[in-house]
Structures are given as C-alpha cells and as structure tokens.
Amino acid sequence: MLLRACIYGGLVSLVLAYAAAAQGDTPAQAAIRAALTQWMADFNAGRAEKVCDLFARDLVAQYRGQPERDWNALCDLLKRSLADRGKTYSYALAIKEILVEGNLAVVRLTWTLTVRGKDAAETTSVEPGIDIFRRQADGSWKISRYMGYESP
C-alpha cells in the first residue's frame, strides 16, 4: 500500500510538473517574451522613441560582418532606419528558448527582417541570434549583450 501511494504520488508530481511547464513561462520568461514582443510592435509601428527601450545602457551588440556597437551606436542605427522614408522595415520574431538563471537570461531566437523599397522591391533576411538579458534595478529585463548573423 505504501509503495502504491509513493508511486501514485510520484506520478501525480510528474504530471503536475509537466502540466505547469506546458502552461507556459515562468514570470521572468514571460517578462522577457513580452519585452521582445513589445519591441517588435514598436519597431514595426515606426515608434522611434521606443526602439532603444529593450537595450541596457551597457549594451554590446555584435552582428556578423558589422562593427561592434554600443547602446548609442545601435540606437542611432535603429532610429535612422525608421526615419528612412525610402524604405519600410518590419520584423517577425521566433523565440526558440528562454533560459533564466538568477538575474541573467539567455534567449535563442530568430528575427526575420523584411525591407520594402518605394519601388516595391522587397528583401528578407533571416537573422538567428542569442540575446543575453540582465534584470535591471527596476525589475525590468533588458538586453545587455547580443550576437546575431544572417542565415545563408
């Protein structure tokens, strides 16, 4: 009887743990997912005043083939892109994994960037990458480091 209760209890624990994992993110994962989704919405809507909100002031951004950028350089680039009236830019986001440990989190993701010119010419680039988030003093999660590249 005791053995049956232990086995049953173990199975119930396993099922509950699986159900909790299947229900969704931890609070930290949900906050990070929400921050990335909000950034995508702000960027796609052309809200230049919001595009730097996702990044920590100590940002180090590295994209293959480009110079390493800090917060100022990346924000300038993003704002210039959104101000370019000859093109429209939009991002789609696919989050593959969010790992959180304490005040740090690593996100494996893929951004798909579509650029449309006034002449209706369109280019799309698929950009896998890794973002390292750090929880800020105010409790928010911001990208402190990232590495990205364009898929062949």
Rounded CA-CA distance 21/141 in Å is 21
pLDDT band at 92; cut points 50, 70, 90? very high
Rounded CA-CA distance 144/72 in Å is 13
Task: Give the CATH number of domain 22-148; options: 1.20.140.10, 3.40.50.2000, 3.40.50.1370, 3.10.450.50.
Answer: 3.10.450.50
Mean pLDDT over 87-91 rounds to: 95
For the cut 50, the answer to whether the pLDDT of residue 31 exceeds it is yes
Look up residue 107 and give its two tokens: 């996100």
Rounded CA-CA distance 37/67 in Å is 26
pLDDT band at 6; cut points 50, 70, 90? very low
pTM score, whole prediction: 0.81
Helix (H, G, I), strand (E, B) or coil at 29: helix
Closest of 89, 120, 109 to residue 151, by C-alpha? 109
pLDDT band at 120; cut points 50, 70, 90? confident
